[in-house]
Structure 1
Amino acid sequence: MINKNQRFIIKTVFSSLIRRRSRILIALLGVAIGATVLLGMITLCYDIPRQMGKEFRSYGANMLFLPTDNQSMMTMADVSQAVSLLPKEKLLGVTPFRYESIRSNQQPYIMVGTDFEQVIKTSPYWKIEGELPKHSHEVLIGTDIANFTKLTIGSTMPVLGKTKQDSRYNEELTITGIVKTGRTEDGYIFISLHDLDEFLKDSDKAEVVEVSITATQDELKHYIDKIKANSLTVDPHLIKWVTQSESSVLGKLSSLLYLVTLVVLILTMICVATTMMTVVMERRKEIGLKKAIGANNKSIAKEFLAEGLILGIIGGMIGVVCGLIFAQVISTNVFGRSIVIEFYLIPTTIVISAMVTVIACLIPVKRALEVEPALVLRGE
């Protein structure tokens, strides 16, 4: 229960805030802006790895599955077992690749069997003229091959190769699209992995599997260790240029956001300290009178710190609402996605706002405690 003395202090504090509401509103606005930026920026810092992770996936996969040293191929069953160790909610795509040497019109080429439904998930940077193969005996050719052979969409190309039993196959394939990446893919012929398996009479195997997963570099290393501990045939690796670039960008961006937040909090402290200093100067006679009738420094300090605490809590609550809107607007406009709110940041923001405001009040409180009753009451 609140005793009479505590009720009197609370009433005095609120009365003081209301009487000087024009000045207090300025300080309250400063605290609210600080809390808005604090919650908005911290929320973005927590959510940016998720948002940026999805953006970085447009540059390709970030993990590779390769056969272990004593094998040239992985079975798709082993790949599926390794993939099952990854979190499904973060997994974007898993694309197998199998490479075979073939000849077409006496020219040697590399034909790559893959899963076209998955390749557009792990390699969204592919620029495809035409469309992906949807039926048997349809292929996608690289732009270098198209330029060399003068083949176009709808053309057919003969393919000659050997099965795993050393018998020959000779097939007519229809070109449905031309792919351009600016990388080695421009010199390959892409076909459904199922079709290639039928040609080779050797099914459900892959040489390389690209995995695209939304995760930080540390999380990826954890997943790799987990797969290595549970699989003897699949050797997982990071695609370092992707993961290192991602970590570097995220680190610099997070540092920038934290720096901006720190600067705003310092400006908030200056705003509150300046306002409270003005309030102390206006209340010098009141402080002197209280000291003259027996009020001690502790009770005066408590009153001012209580005003600062209330100011911080109210400003923090206003800032929480504005901060959530602020973070949502930035996320929607920059990334085109809604932000994921960490709800524990809400009370944390209010507590930090209150602490910042109380700390900002320390210098004005010190000035208040230095007031000499005799000098003030004489008008000096």
Structure 2
Amino acid sequence: MLTAFLAVAIGAAVLMGMMTVYRDIPEQMGRELRSYGANMIFVPSEGKTFLGARTVSEALRRIPEERLIGAAPWRYESLTMNRLPLTVAGTDFSQVMKTRPYWQITGRLPIDEDEILIGRDVAGMALLKPGDVVDLAGKDQDGERFRLKLTIAGIVQTGGKEDGFLFVALPLLNELMNGNDEMQIMELSVAATGDVLAQYLEQIGQDFPTLVPRLVKRITHSETVVLEKLQALVYLVTGIVLSLTMICVATTMMAMVMERRKEIGLKKAVGAENGTIVAEFMGTGLVLGVAGGCLGCVIGYFFALAVSFSVFGRSVSVIPSVIVMTLALSVVVTVLACMLPVRRAVSIEPALVLRGE
């Protein structure tokens, strides 16, 4: 009985732990995978060049705040720095590290509007370092020339084409170009699965015809593949553990039946019906399932807590539906495991057993 009880408890613990972690995996793994970069963008609809800030702000409200990790606007212009032609990108520095956390910055992010970031290639070519002052010049949308001095707050390294860019605050770039509060692209980092992202895309696309929401398919596909593999792994491990639990309980119960053959034969000889024998063993299995399932739920929660802390650095919450599912499966597995031993017990012939055969 102790062996069967421990088998049920271990099986329930693994089931509870795996299901608890699995319920939190999509959200927590999605947040971890946000280090890949943005997984959604807004671009202007056909025939338009810029996105209005008000339209973008209203579109962002369609995404729940707890899922929106970051939203960085972008505008690109061709200007000169110290007479060196460059692509200048305007953005929101408070959001850019949320959508592009892979950036490596020497120095710091700009705080004031007259501070900028420059790419590593630009810094190497112009022999610049954080704290240096540069001249930014160009023409606005009306053809009027402008010129101003800006301070380098940091040097950014991405390993991509951004290493050759210069980055300024978007409001400053809009002001220099005599533009309204507008942007060319809005990058979003959203903690959601591919199916949920597709729902957001459909809703935003219907409500805001002046912008086109798109998924960054390489990143979204990678996240989907990872989550599908984790899901398959959880199902495989859970199935194997439940199968082993069933085998262990069935073997233990069969041993009990064989040890109690004379007792069962005597009961049947004095008038016990098969239903009584079935109820006795099934009742034992039911008690094992409930008791082992309860102990397994407690152990499984702490197992899930340890896994979540070690992998994601976060705790997990108790999910009532997982507890109910664990208890139900523990009882079902135990009852199914008892069916073969019960069939064996019912088939015992009292006369043969009492004669010692």
- TM-score bracket, shorter-length normalisation: over 0.9
State the 1:128 CA deviation.
0.5
- What residue in structure 2 maps to residue 195 of structure 1? 172
- What residue in structure 2 maps to residue 335 of structure 1? 312
- What residue in structure 2 maps to residue 167 of structure 1? 144
State the 1:234 CA deviation.
1.4
CA–CA separation in structure 2 for the residues paired with 1:94 and 1:70: 24
CA–CA separation in structure 2 for the residues paired with 1:106 and 1:196: 18
CA–CA separation in structure 1 for the residues paired with 2:168 and 2:311: 37
Aligned residue for 1:132, secondary structure, equals coil
- What residue in structure 2 maps to residue 186 of structure 1? 163
- What residue in structure 1 maps to residue 120 of structure 2? 143
Alignment of 1:209-358 (within 5 A): 209-358=186-335
CA–CA separation in structure 1 for the residues paired with 2:200 and 2:113: 36
Is the 1:194–1:203 contact (alpha carbons within 8 Å) kept by the matching residues of 2?
no
- What residue in structure 2 maps to residue 359 of structure 1? 336
**2:96 corresponds to 1:119:** yes
State the 1:83 CA deviation.
0.4
CA–CA separation in structure 1 for the residues paired with 2:141 and 2:190: 33
- What residue in structure 1 maps to residue 30 of structure 2? 53
* Amino acid aligned to 1:376: V
Is the 1:141–1:179 contact (alpha carbons within 8 Å) kept by the matching residues of 2?
yes
CA–CA separation in structure 2 for the residues paired with 1:171 and 1:341: 57
- The farther-off stretch of 176-185 and 352-361 is 176-185
Could you list the runs of 5+ residues in structure 1 that have no partner in the other structure?
Answer: 1-23
- What residue in structure 1 maps to residue 81 of structure 2? 104
* Amino acid aligned to 1:363: L
CA–CA separation in structure 2 for the residues paired with 1:184 and 1:356: 57
State the 1:39 CA deviation.
0.9
* Amino acid aligned to 1:368: A
**2:72 corresponds to 1:87:** no
> Could you say what the CA RMSD is over the residues aligned between the two structures, in angstroms?
1.0
Of 9, 17, 38, the residue aligned with 2:15 is 38
Q: Taking structure 1 as the reference length, what is the TM-score of the superposition?
A: 0.92
- What residue in structure 2 maps to residue 374 of structure 1? 351
How many residue pairs are counted as aligned between the two chains? 357
Is the 1:53–1:246 contact (alpha carbons within 8 Å) kept by the matching residues of 2?
yes
Aligned residue for 1:89, secondary structure, equals coil
Relative distance call for 1:341 and 1:61 in structure 2 (3 A) is farther
CA–CA separation in structure 2 for the residues paired with 1:304 and 1:106: 90
CA–CA separation in structure 1 for the residues paired with 2:210 and 2:246: 59
- What residue in structure 1 maps to residue 110 of structure 2? 133
State the 1:154 CA deviation.
1.2
- What residue in structure 2 maps to residue 6 of structure 1? none
Aligned residue for 1:379, secondary structure, equals coil
The one-character-per-residue Cα deviations of 1:151-185 (angstroms, maximum 9, x if unpaired) are 11111221211111110111222111000111121
Is the 1:98–1:112 contact (alpha carbons within 8 Å) kept by the matching residues of 2?
yes
Aligned residue for 1:164, secondary structure, equals coil
Aligned residue for 2:314, secondary structure, equals coil
* Amino acid aligned to 1:272: V
State the 1:106 CA deviation.
3.2
Aligned residue for 1:302, secondary structure, equals helix
CA–CA separation in structure 1 for the residues paired with 2:318 and 2:75: 42
Is the 1:82–1:234 contact (alpha carbons within 8 Å) kept by the matching residues of 2?
no
State the 1:107 CA deviation.
2.4
Aligned residue for 1:344, secondary structure, equals helix
Aligned residue for 2:152, secondary structure, equals strand
Q: Taking structure 2 as the reference length, what is the TM-score of the superposition?
A: 0.98
Is the 1:128–1:178 contact (alpha carbons within 8 Å) kept by the matching residues of 2?
yes
Aligned residue for 1:376, secondary structure, equals helix
- What residue in structure 1 maps to residue 5 of structure 2? 28
* Amino acid aligned to 1:259: L
State the 1:303 CA deviation.
1.2
Aligned residue for 1:174, secondary structure, equals strand
State the 1:348 CA deviation.
1.4
Aligned residue for 1:141, secondary structure, equals strand
CA–CA separation in structure 1 for the residues paired with 2:318 and 2:236: 21
Detail structure 1 runs of 4+ shifted over 3 Å in the superposition: none
- What residue in structure 2 maps to residue 204 of structure 1? 181
CA–CA separation in structure 2 for the residues paired with 1:350 and 1:103: 68
The one-character-per-residue Cα deviations of 1:3-24 (angstroms, maximum 9, x if unpaired) are xxxxxxxxxxxxxxxxxxxxx1
Aligned residue for 1:201, secondary structure, equals coil
